[in-house]
Amino acid sequence: MQVCPFCDTIADEQTTFCQICGYSFILTLPRPFLSHRRLYLFLSMFSIFLGILACAFTFFPSLYISSIILFLATIGLAGVSLEKAQGKSDAGLVKILAIIGLAFGALGYIFFMFIHSSVPGIGYSM
């Protein structure tokens, strides 16, 4: 039994191509790896940290401009990490952390829009 490295389909030993994705078992292709994995791991963890700060800064009226900058930086860093990790076989942790960073960035944006809304009855007034 052989396993396709791209789609994890189990195939017989006599099979030359994967029935699902077309991977050639005869001409073995190198598996794509993430270069500079530690950098993108750091960027995705840093995006989580910035996302948490963006959520926290939203609740302080004197820091709301900083929260805008932080959630934009969060989404940018997490997006870059997620884009570089796309299609790489060893980037599962980077992908998960980048998605968590994106979620915190989006949550910071939602908090900002809710708290600093000018609609009567929503948010707080100063």
d(CA 64, CA 78): 21
**Position of tokens 């998960």?**
96
d(CA 126, CA 119): 13
Confidence of residue 76 (pLDDT cuts 50, 70, 90): very high
More confident: 43 or 14: 43
Give me the pLDDT at residue 31, please.
Answer: 65
pLDDT tens across 44-57, in order?
999 999 999 999 99
pLDDT tens across 25-40, in order?
777 656 677 778 889 8
